[in-house]
Structure 1
Amino acid sequence: MTAPALPPLAPAPGGAFGLYLHVPFCAARCGYCDFNTYTPGELAAAGGDTPAGNTPAGWLEALRRELELAAGRLDAAGGVPVLDTVFVGGGTPSLLGGAGLADVLAAVRTHFVLAGDAEVTTEANPESTSPAFFGALRAAGYTRVSLGMQSVAPHVLRLLDRVHSPGRAPAAALEARSAGFAHVNLDLIYGTPGETDDDLARSIDAVLAADVDHVSAYALVVEDGTALARRVRRGEMPAVDDDVVADRYELLDARLTAAGLDWYEVSNWSRPGGECRHNLGYWNGGQWWGAGPGAHSHVGALRWWNVKHPNGYAEALASGAAPVAGFEELGETDRHVEQVLLRIRLRDGLPVAVLHPAERRRADAAVAAGLLRLVEQRLALTDAGRLLADAVVRDLLD
């Protein structure tokens, strides 16, 4: 299949520019995950050999080619932007090891300049980290690490198919701090069937004991096509209870706020200065190039996404082609919907001026209902509104 040709890029002037790098490898597949990830067994050919493009070495070679292509396209569109943020996600980037992730950042620096205060993040699974791993990341220039924790309750981890021990994630966070990382995030998942209030409370205790400056907490969502969805469909486990999820969110928010971690996005809390700048770029409508299998990019009014499979991605680049699977040009209505959808989730809220008259009237109704508050011509979610954020957005956009 011939890759679609991207229209010429037209970057928006000013503002931050980020780079996202997708590592598609995982040691095992978690039951709730629907991300573009692959286990070794899924990447091996029928004869047992693994095609070169499906290996970390083949992936890195392809990534280098895409980064060269990206810099060339951006240069032709007005100049290669200085990177304010770099985010290595997955998948499980820590499977590359400290040396492998150092090679990734070196590849970035070959084609891009990082701002002096650039935020450089990698995700990591606790079981594939160590003090030496974190030391190598710091030496390479990473400034932030995000660790998947989910829970300290063994039965919750088992249901989610997580393979790390209950105490490994907080221990890894402490190792990262000891290695010199000022910015460390722990991810939690709440609302898993069988989880109790005490399970979540103990998980929060462990997070706070690790002294991290950022916490992300997500309600479990059972996505179609996942192992969890199949278990729910077969009646092996109950569906997620929305009322329980709301109670758990309130518990999380109260405990984290009392400990000095304030919400700045519906699912994210941080100490002052600990906010994830890369993700804020997404939520504020910023620009980024996404490199790697299945990665998405957004430059100016153009959005595109790469071929999903690692070998197809590598083969496209080896042939000299861009690994693009598809693209869309965002119109004024598209951009408006995204602005409302994303910025209303931020503590800073949404400027009233961006709303159309009918939307402003619906916003007034949401203020009267106690779901939004108006502060200095910005609309922000109330505590009650955060529990119903998606519904608030739907009502605003009608």
Structure 2
Amino acid sequence: MPSAAPDGIPVPGDGALPAASAAAFGERSFGFYVHVPYCATRCGYCDFNTYTAKELGGGASQASYAQNAIAEIRMARRVLGDRYVPVETVFFGGGTPTLLPARELKAILKAIRDEFGLDAAAEITTEANPESVDEKYLVELAEGGFNRISFGMQSARRHVLEVLERGHTSGRPEQCVRWAYDAGFEQVNLDLIYGTPGETDDDWRASLEAVIAVYPDHVSAYSLIVEEGTRLAARIRRGELPDIDEDVHADRYTIADELLTAAGYSWYEVSNWAVSEDARCRHNLLYWSGADWWGIGPGAHSHVSGTRWWNVKHPAAYAQRVAEGRSPGHARELLNAADRRVERILLELRLSDGLDLALLSRQGRAAAGRAMQQRLLEPLPFADGHAVLTLRGRLLADALVRDFTD
């Protein structure tokens, strides 16, 4: 089961923000994240805040999720006041949002539109398990205002999917891409995972080639992380599967960048490639640029003007608080200038738009100089004072962040 939410400062019962954060709302882009914490089955590698019917227990109902989410949206309107700040992005994640009927996802989106208003060019995304949608469902979502969808493909090889305990058949994600474009979605992403025990270079190339063959406008590729408490971790610990090899991960990342670049994709964040600037995920860019968002649902995180908070994790606790008219916020933290500077370094370094070296301390600038000498970092053309990771630098991004923020 998912671990407990982290501690922090208690959130007031009415969810009120500190005065400084409330006053600054509207100075940055604003979006919504909607966390739908339900899955048909739990994948062996997953430690996300998600629940199967067996795990859910009493006191919570998937059927009542939409009305609870709408109640929190209305609470957000009360907390943020009547200032008009149209929503630029909405992202339904999970879990598997598409386990809910399409009419319920549309009702939640309508509540956001009614309470806050949507920017004329708003990006509206949902994640989807390929087995949870069909042509009719996708048409209904597109007609309801969704214009971007992200399918969890992970691999094109059956034996790799079996190790991950993924519940879809090979070829289904590619079919879903075609259905989504036919339904009217403007943007489609496929998620891949590399480094699964038993996966070979040829398996990984086959997955990339399958993606490129249907040519979605966005591809995400993440290295497999084995989290303690998952079934996958237990299988590796028992010796049933080989452990993760970081050198293999580096090789797989290099293969991904090579094939995707050759096919016309460009990286814009370490794990994300797009066919054009317009195809980049604007919701994730909102996170990476330190903008504001409100997270709806159990365990969802939010950030408004230097105040970050997170909701209670279990759907039953979330439903009870919302029913009582109380904030579902479990705890929060107030970010000071030093915190926000470190976060900017961590996030900007991962982007192709580059890191503003003025953010670095004297020691950090010295570390950046060494990274340039080692060809891990290079000046960004036409952006004075900014530097961007080289391909080799992207493989060592986490270590470089530590050097730059010491």
Partner of 2:300: 295
1:380 aligns with 2:388: yes
The question of whether the paired residues in 1 share the 8 Å contact of 2:38 and 2:99 is answered with yes
* Alpha-carbon distance, 1:80 to partner: 4.3
Q: Deviations over 1:241-276 (max 9, x none)?
A: 111111111111000001111000000000111000
* Alpha-carbon distance, 1:316 to partner: 0.4
- Name the stretch that deviates more: 368-377 or 140-149: 368-377
- Name the stretch that deviates more: 9-18 or 269-278: 9-18
Partner of 1:70: 76
Separation (CA, whole Å) in 1 of partners of 2:267 and 2:375: 18
- The alignment of Structure 1 onto Structure 2 pairs a total of residues equal to 388
Q: Structure 2-normalised TM-score?
A: 0.93
Q: Deviations over 1:132-161 (max 9, x none)?
A: 111001100001000000001111000001
- Name the stretch that deviates more: 370-379 or 184-193: 370-379
Other structure's SS at 1:367 match: helix
1:395 aligns with 2:403: yes
The question of whether the paired residues in 2 share the 8 Å contact of 1:102 and 1:137 is answered with yes
Partner of 2:182: 178
* Alpha-carbon distance, 1:107 to partner: 2.2
Q: What residue identity is the alignment partner of 1:274?
A: A
1:85 aligns with 2:89: yes
Other structure's SS at 1:149 match: strand
Partner of 1:142: 146
* Alpha-carbon distance, 1:392 to partner: 0.9
* Alpha-carbon distance, 1:55 to partner: 1.9
Partner of 1:39: 52
Separation (CA, whole Å) in 2 of partners of 1:207 and 1:226: 28
- Name the stretch that deviates more: 370-379 or 134-143: 370-379
The question of whether the paired residues in 2 share the 8 Å contact of 1:74 and 1:80 is answered with no
Partner of 1:166: 170
Are residues 363 and 97 of structure 1, via their aligned partners in 2, closer, same or farther at CA, if it must alter by over 3 Å? same
The question of whether the paired residues in 1 share the 8 Å contact of 2:312 and 2:329 is answered with yes
The correspondence of residues 1-398 of structure 1 with structure 2, limited to 5 A, is: 4-5=11-12, 6-8=16-18, 9-10=21-22, 11-45=24-58, 51=59, 54-75=60-81, 79-272=83-276, 273-375=278-380, 376-398=384-406
* Alpha-carbon distance, 1:56 to partner: 2.5
Q: What residue identity is the alignment partner of 1:28?
A: T
The question of whether the paired residues in 2 share the 8 Å contact of 1:20 and 1:88 is answered with yes
- Name the stretch that deviates more: 98-107 or 368-377: 98-107
Separation (CA, whole Å) in 1 of partners of 2:17 and 2:155: 45
Q: What residue identity is the alignment partner of 2:52?
A: T
Separation (CA, whole Å) in 1 of partners of 2:95 and 2:114: 24
* Alpha-carbon distance, 1:110 to partner: 2.6
Other structure's SS at 1:251 match: helix
Alignment identity in percent? 51
* Alpha-carbon distance, 1:194 to partner: 0.6
In structure 1, list runs of 5 or more residues that go unmatched. Answer: 46-50
* Alpha-carbon distance, 1:87 to partner: 0.4
Are residues 270 and 299 of structure 1, via their aligned partners in 2, closer, same or farther at CA, if it must alter by over 3 Å? same
* Alpha-carbon distance, 1:202 to partner: 1.1
* Alpha-carbon distance, 1:181 to partner: 1.3
Other structure's SS at 2:100 match: helix
Q: What residue identity is the alignment partner of 1:4?
A: V
* RMSD of aligned residue pairs (Cα, Å): 1.4
Separation (CA, whole Å) in 1 of partners of 2:114 and 2:315: 22
Q: Structure 1-normalised TM-score?
A: 0.95
The question of whether the paired residues in 2 share the 8 Å contact of 1:190 and 1:248 is answered with yes
Partner of 2:3: none
Q: What residue identity is the alignment partner of 1:338?
A: E
Q: Deviations over 1:183-220 (max 9, x none)?
A: 00000000111101111111111111112000000000
Q: What residue identity is the alignment partner of 2:379?
A: L
The question of whether the paired residues in 1 share the 8 Å contact of 2:160 and 2:198 is answered with yes
In structure 2, list runs of 5 or more residues that go unmatched. Answer: 1-8
The question of whether the paired residues in 2 share the 8 Å contact of 1:185 and 1:212 is answered with yes
* Alpha-carbon distance, 1:4 to partner: 3.1
Other structure's SS at 1:89 match: strand
Separation (CA, whole Å) in 2 of partners of 1:396 and 1:157: 37
Other structure's SS at 1:294 match: coil
Partner of 1:48: none
